[in-house]
Every structure is written in structure tokens, then in C-alpha cells.
């Protein structure tokens, strides 16, 4: 017995030592990953930071480029179409989402829901995880039509009202006479929606009236920052309502019907939820009187961020890693939200969720 026990002790010590070494190696790998991640985002941080700061502090540097760009757009028939922003949104999504989908399928080691099943956050690459159900572009025509139809309907029925555009130009674009009669008075405010003046000569809202003057880089940068801040706040409360109000929950359920979060989940929305996203984005831009060129630049950033938080990948250059630590939510937190069905209601930033945690669980929030 004693010899067996003596022989078993070195074996158990060896196993414990091996397990300890594995744990230490995992911890060192995690620390190395965090170190690499912090250093790998230095370049994008510097580039974006320099662009924002120079754009705000030295607008004259960009004046010629912006003026030339806007002059070209202003004369473009395509840019003057009432449906331009819907087409732009559709094209940006059609380009970005497949790129993220390809990255998702080719990088199983980055998949968050697979890694999330392991308490150490690490996965054996040899596990060969199953793929979530994903559809080819040719089988998503119905989804595309559902995405575009309500937006195009609004584009063709409602008059576009942008900051810096004279009311007479807005009226002409909407099929009204430049000088209003008593029965044809309309407001220049976006808060007072106006239907296009339907007639045989002008059956649809086909064009939009644009401001003549281009914006400064300072105006563009500040409007982008403020509009995203407003959108993030509004969406947080709407998203919270979608989860906690039984009347709205049914409209949000399609967005959570998936085995594993992936880029295609981005557009897996009910019509009600999709329209709420678009209307909130429009409100966030309109309430601050943003220039139409700011809106044009808002769209690709908006779509890129929506796809990235749903990509299901722990990306090296995720926007949450580029932003100062603790500012951005990113794909990792949104993957947890989809996995657990609660928490991390913010689309882009973290502060509203922190405030909610402080209200609901003050002790937990202080230690997190």
C-alpha cells in the first residue's frame, strides 16, 4: 500500500504541475494578446485622432477638398435623387456585410460565441465548430426587398428638408409653387413632415433640394460626433423598451432568432425595428441641423458600426479597441447580449449601460 501511495504522489504532483503550467501559459497568452491588442491599435488611433483634431482645429486645411467634392456632388443628378441615401445605405451594406461574412467563415478562432462557451475564453482550434445557418446572397432577395421597400416608399412620398435650404427650394422639390397660397403653406422644419404634392406632372418625390454652400470640416466632425452620441442614447432606450415591454418584445424577437451571432444577423430585423433604426438616425442628424454632406458621411460609418457589433468576431482593430479603454461596447459585449438576451443594450458606447447598472445594481456596478 505504502509503495502504491508513494508512486501515486509524484504522479498527482506531476498532473497538478502540468495543469498549473497550462493555466499560467493561458494567462500569459491572454496578457500577451492584450499587450499586442493595445499596441496594434496605436496607428489607427493616431490617424483617426489626427484627422478629427485637424478637422476641428484647422478647417482651412480641408476647405478646398470639401468644396470641390461638394461642388461635384451638388451638380450630380444621382446625388440630387430623393432616394440617394437609401441607395447609399443599401450599397454600403451590400459591400461591407459580405466582407465580414467571409472573415467570419475563414477565421473560426475569432468567433466569439464559440470561444464564449469555454470559461477560459480560449478554444482548441481542432474542435472544428459547427457553422451557424447562413444564407447566400441569391437566397436573400426577399430580405433585400423588405429592407428597401419601406425606405423607398418614404423617399418617394415625403419631401426632404435639409438645413441651409431655402423654403422656396424645398417647396419646388415637393411639387408646390415657390410662392405659397393660403392652402399650400408648409413648414421648413423636419419635425413637420410634408407629403409630396402629387399631380400628373409630379407624381412622386424624385429629387431633393440641397444647400448651395459646402460645410467646413469643423462642422462635419462636430455634427458626426454629436449625432452618433444622440443616436446611441436614443437607441439605448428604444432597445431597452424592445426587451422589457411585452408589447414591443414581439417586434425584436426576429433579431435574436439565431444559433450563433454572425454578420447576417445585422439585418435580421422586423420592419418595425428596421424603421425605428432609420428614423432614430434621421432624427439624430436633423435635430442638430446637420449638413447634407454630413449625412452622406454618416451613412457608411453608421452601417459599418452596426455590422461590426453583430459580426461575432473578436477583431484586432475593433472600434471598441481603437477608442479609449472602456468607451466602446463593440462586438464582444454585443455577442454577450445576444447570447444571454439581456444587458449591453447600447449600440456603440458603454456609458448608458453603466448608468442602468448603477441604478439597478449599485453594489455590482461599483465593483465591475
On the question of pLDDT at 37 being above 80, the answer is: no
Across 111-120, average pLDDT: 59
Exposure string for 292-305, b = 16+ CB within 10 A, e = fewer: bbbbbbbbbebbbb
3-state secondary structure 12-56: HHHHHHHHHHHHHHHHHHHHHHHHHHHHHCHHHHHHHHHHHHHHH
On the question of pLDDT at 73 being above 80, the answer is: yes
**Least confident piece of the model among 185-189, 207-211, 269-273:** 185-189
The rounded mean pLDDT for the chain is 83
On the question of pLDDT at 133 being above 70, the answer is: no
On the question of pLDDT at 285 being above 70, the answer is: yes
On the question of pLDDT at 245 being above 70, the answer is: yes
Q: Which residue in this structure is represented by grid cell 421648413?
A: 188
On the question of pLDDT at 342 being above 90, the answer is: no
- Split at pLDDT 50, 70, 90, the class of 140 is confident
Residue 78: the pLDDT is 97
- Residues β-bridged to residue 349: 328
Across 203-220, average pLDDT: 96
On the question of pLDDT at 313 being above 50, the answer is: yes
Residue 200: the pLDDT is 85
**pLDDT tens digits, residue range 39-51?**
678 899 999 999 9
**Least confident piece of the model among 80-89, 290-299, 328-337:** 328-337
Which three cell numbers, joined as nine digits, stand for 290? 446637420
Question: What's the Cα-to-Cα distance from 34 to each of 198, 335, 344, rounded to whole Å?
Answer: 59, 19, 22
CA atoms within 13 Å, Cβ hemisphere of 292: 24
What proportion of the chain, given as a percentage, has pLDDT over 90?
46
Residue 237: the pLDDT is 93
- Split at pLDDT 50, 70, 90, the class of 310 is very high
Angle ∠(19,20,23) on CA atoms, nearest 5:
85
Across 57-76, average pLDDT: 97
Across 99-108, average pLDDT: 90
On the question of pLDDT at 56 being above 50, the answer is: yes
For the chain, the structural domain boundaries read 41-113+137-148+214-360
Residue 91: the pLDDT is 94
On the question of pLDDT at 6 being above 60, the answer is: no
Residue 26: the pLDDT is 44
Amino acid at each position: 500500500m505504502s509503495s502504491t501511495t508513494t508512486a501515486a504522489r509524484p504522479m498527482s504532483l506531476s498532473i497538478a504541475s502540468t495543469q498549473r503550467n497550462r493555466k499560467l501559459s493561458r494567462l500569459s497568452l491572454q496578457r500577451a494578446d492584450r499587450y499586442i491588442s493595445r499596441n496594434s491599435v496605436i496607428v489607427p488611433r493616431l490617424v483617426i485622432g489626427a484627422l478629427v483634431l485637424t478637422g476641428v482645429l484647422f478647417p482651412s486645411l480641408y476647405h478646398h477638398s470639401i468644396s470641390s467634392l461638394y461642388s461635384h456632388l451638388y451638380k450630380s443628378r444621382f446625388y440630387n435623387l430623393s432616394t440617394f441615401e437609401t441607395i447609399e445605405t443599401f450599397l454600403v451594406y451590400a459591400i461591407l456585410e459580405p466582407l465580414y461574412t467571409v472573415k467570419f467563415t475563414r477565421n473560426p478562432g475569432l468567433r466569439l460565441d464559440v470561444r464564449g462557451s469555454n470559461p477560459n475564453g480560449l478554444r482548441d482550434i481542432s474542435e472544428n465548430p459547427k457553422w451557424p445557418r447562413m444564407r447566400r446572397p441569391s437566397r436573400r432577395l426577399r430580405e433585400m426587398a423588405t429592407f428597401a421597400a419601406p425606405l423607398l416608399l418614404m423617399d418617394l412620398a415625403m419631401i426632404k428638408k435639409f438645413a441651409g435650404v431655402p423654403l422656396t427650394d424645398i417647396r419646388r422639390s415637393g411639387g408646390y409653387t415657390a410662392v405659397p397660397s393660403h392652402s399650400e403653406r408648409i413648414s421648413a422644419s423636419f419635425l413637420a413632415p410634408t407629403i409630396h404634392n402629387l399631380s400628373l406632372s409630379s407624381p412622386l418625390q424624385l429629387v431633393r433640394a440641397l444647400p448651395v454652400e459646402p460645410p467646413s470640416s469643423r462642422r462635419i466632425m462636430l455634427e458626426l460626433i454629436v449625432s452618433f452620441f444622440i443616436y446611441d442614447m436614443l437607441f439605448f432606450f428604444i432597445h431597452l423598451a424592445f426587451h422589457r415591454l411585452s408589447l414591443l418584445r414581439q417586434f425584436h424577437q426576429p433579431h435574436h432568432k439565431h444559433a450563433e451571432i454572425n454578420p447576417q444577423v445585422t439585418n435580421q430585423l422586423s420592419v418595425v425595428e428596421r424603421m425605428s433604426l432609420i428614423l432614430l438616425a434621421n432624427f439624430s442628424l436633423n435635430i442638430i441641423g446637420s449638413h447634407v454632406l454630413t449625412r452622406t458621411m454618416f451613412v457608411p460609418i453608421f452601417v459599418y458600426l452596426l455590422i461590426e457589433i453583430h459580426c461575432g468576431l473578436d477583431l484586432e482593430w475593433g472600434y471598441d479597441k481603437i477608442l479609449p479603454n472602456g468607451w466602446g461596447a463593440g462586438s464582444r459585449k454585443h455577442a454577450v447580449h445576444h447570447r444571454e438576451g439581456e444587458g449591453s443594450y447600447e449600440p456603440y458606447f458603454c456609458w448608458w449601460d453603466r448608468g442602468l447598472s448603477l441604478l439597478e445594481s449599485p453594489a455590482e456596478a461599483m465593483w465591475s
